[in-house]
Structure 1
Amino acid sequence: MGTLPRSGLIMQEEAEAWVMQLGYAKHPIAAALQHRVFLLFFALNLAVVHAGPGHRGGGGVPSVSCRVVAEKEKEMTPRRLPKRIILVRHGESQGNLDMSAYTTTPDYRIPLTPLGVDQARAAGRAILDVVSSCSGAGGGGGGANWKVYFYVSPYERTRATLREMGAAFPRHRVIGAREECRVREQDFGNFQVEERMRAVKETRDRFGRFFFRFPEGESAADVFDRVASFLESLWRDIDMGRLEQDASCETNLVIVSHGLTSRVFLMKWFKWTVDQFERLSNFDNCEFRVMQLGPAGEYSLLVHHTREELQRWGLSPEMIADQQWRASANRRSWADDCSSFLATFFDHWNDHEDDDDDDHGEENGKINKLLLLE
């Protein structure tokens, strides 16, 4: 580890030389940490200068240093969220058409059918309309300055879907594309013998779709773990500004993946329970669902989509109420005003008779109001 400079005032060159002695600068997280250390040195140095010679502490130094660090970090790392996160299932594949294809062809090599190619092209045009139309469905379209960034599963059918979708977009509108293994299909176990897989899936239905692990494969719970890891990386990409080139640009993320993986993504993002997940319907081929940023900074399916669509997808009244709140208010107000999904976990409360009944009545009234389907 580097030796801290002994001089009374820490110069910029000394601070940078010291943090670089740690040797981790090539790693983005370590580099960011090193920069924070440098900012702290810079702030303390500035505080000593402001305090004057002979200063030996006092109330002014911490306030100056903390303020400088906070202001510097705010300037460096403003969080600008993508306007939309769009989840797309691949087009019709040969495996969707004929289950016996999995017997001789590895799952990751299954191609699109001609219909799947047409579906992908249509999905590209539809997504282009969503991100570029100023009067898009649900209000709040893209305006003139918008761009897209793509994540794609490494499977042949998802990559082919992305290729066909990409034909709808002008080159200058595409920030980039990245293959992401963590949004791949659930692993059903190498070559899949049709008769055996039929029996295994019947067992899965009895056992429970989320926790059942396919022989030599994965469970939906395993998919959840890797999707959670992907989301951590996604937030890092957002925080470090990797997904945008222009602060005035409206960014849209498009994730081309698979039906179960996309449902697990929504489950993780919106904190749905296992029971709620198992009630969800699958995406159709090339169907996409739009998580759009609401005015208070929360993503919701109800900014772009309708209540009727969410009902068809299997969302319960409580889940739809949560989406409605996210579309119009921030998470803190939701937590304060409406304790979401509490009835899922609790049947009885230890409320005493001397509790304020008016407060309970007001809270229940807010929840019931959100649950009304207009």
Structure 2
Amino acid sequence: MEQLQWLAVVRHGQSTGNVIAEAAETGGLEAIDIPERDADVPLSDTGREQAQAVGKWLTGLPPDERPEIAVVSPYLRTRQTAGLALEGSGIPMVVDERLRDRELGVLDLLTGRGVQARLPDEFARRARLGKFYYRPPGGESWADVLLRLRALLRELREDHPDGRVVLFAHEATVLLVRYLAEQLSEAELMEIAHATTIANCSISAWRRHDGTLRAELFNEVVHLHREGAPATKQEDVDAEPV
């Protein structure tokens, strides 16, 4: 099957949920008090600035290197990020629910402290199984998310052979696309995940060489500093507690 020529993933900009979740974690709270459902959490003002900086980065690419299509998570914060970044670019945007963030089930809106205090059995089960295979009740494991990402990427290769595609999605998506593109092992992925917090509106990209996607950028935020947009690194609102 023909490989994509270029694939990039942009994590959404800082959301209002990011700000609330960060305050809850650092404040030692057990629960994250976000009024909206996860799919409806919007960007903060900082997140909007970050998204606009991504747009300047995209328009600065040579015309023959710009993405031909953007595929976007249906969550509001990702759609807002893509809308601001793609404004005036002429790049078509398609929303695909397979790019939604990992669903946390019973762990949703709990901090790490909250999971340990309120769901000690789940806290212990996650520690035993590890992040890759642990599936919280009502939620997904990383392996589950990979099933939908594999299906999406296979369709993109079929529909856009030799194409250039940018995804607007979530922190876990960036890590799992890297796992697929670079054919990593579980241990290699976990080493990266433990050492890296994917920044809001960071860019990660892979370019085809000899039929294989090779890393070009990972968690890159230079464009944010260059455009004066704050480069925050808060965990996503639905990031898994550590």
Q: Does 1:85 align with 2:2?
A: no
Q: Which has a greater percent of helix?
A: 1
Question: How far apart are the structure 2 equivalents of 1:118 and 1:150?
Answer: 19
Equivalent of 1:282, from 185, 188, 197? Answer: 197
CA displacement at 1:238 relative to structure 2: 2.4
- Is the alpha carbon distance of 1:299 and 1:153 closer, same or farther for their aligned partners in structure 2, counting shifts above 3 Å? same
Contact map agreement 1:111 1:157 (CA 8 A) in 2: yes
Contact map agreement 2:181 2:206 (CA 8 A) in 1: no
Q: Structure 1 unaligned segments of length 5 or more: list them.
A: 1-77, 133-141, 240-249, 310-374
CA displacement at 1:209 relative to structure 2: 1.1
Q: Does 1:186 align with 2:102?
A: yes
How high is the TM-score relative to the length of structure 2?
A: 0.72
CA displacement at 1:147 relative to structure 2: 5.0
The structure whose Rg is larger is: 1
Can you list the C-alpha shifts for 1:11-59, whole angstroms capped at 9, x where unaligned? xxxxxxxxxxxxxxxxxxxxxxxxxxxxxxxxxxxxxxxxxxxxxxxxx
- Is the alpha carbon distance of 1:97 and 1:251 closer, same or farther for their aligned partners in structure 2, counting shifts above 3 Å? same
CA displacement at 1:271 relative to structure 2: 1.6
How high is the TM-score relative to the length of structure 1?
A: 0.48
- Paired position in structure 2 for 1:264: 176
Identity %: 25
Aligned Cα root-mean-square deviation (Å): 2.7
Q: Does 1:255 align with 2:155?
A: no
Contact map agreement 2:8 2:204 (CA 8 A) in 1: yes
Q: Does 1:297 align with 2:211?
A: yes
- Paired position in structure 2 for 1:319: none
CA displacement at 1:265 relative to structure 2: 1.6
Contact map agreement 1:84 1:290 (CA 8 A) in 2: yes
Can you list the C-alpha shifts for 1:244-276, whole angstroms capped at 9, x where unaligned? xxxxxx952110011112211221222211111
Aligned pairs for 1:325-344 (under 5 A) are: none
- Paired position in structure 2 for 1:125: 56
Can you list the C-alpha shifts for 1:184-203, whole angstroms capped at 9, x where unaligned? 10001275245634656854
Question: How far apart are the structure 1 equivalents of 2:183 and 2:75?
Answer: 27
Contact map agreement 1:110 1:156 (CA 8 A) in 2: yes
Question: How far apart are the structure 2 equivalents of 1:125 and 1:82?
Answer: 23
Q: Does 1:162 align with 2:82?
A: yes
- Is the alpha carbon distance of 1:149 and 1:205 closer, same or farther for their aligned partners in structure 2, counting shifts above 3 Å? same
Q: Which amino acid aligns with 1:121?
A: Q
Contact map agreement 1:260 1:282 (CA 8 A) in 2: no
- Paired position in structure 2 for 1:43: none
Q: Does 1:230 align with 2:149?
A: no
How many residues are aligned here? 201
- Is the alpha carbon distance of 1:102 and 1:223 closer, same or farther for their aligned partners in structure 2, counting shifts above 3 Å? farther
Q: Does 1:106 align with 2:37?
A: yes
- Paired position in structure 2 for 1:214: 136
SS at match of 1:218: coil
CA displacement at 1:291 relative to structure 2: 0.6
- Is the alpha carbon distance of 1:101 and 1:117 closer, same or farther for their aligned partners in structure 2, counting shifts above 3 Å? farther
Question: How far apart are the structure 2 equivalents of 1:284 and 1:205?
Answer: 25
Q: Which amino acid aligns with 2:103?
A: D
SS at match of 1:86: strand
SS at match of 1:236: helix
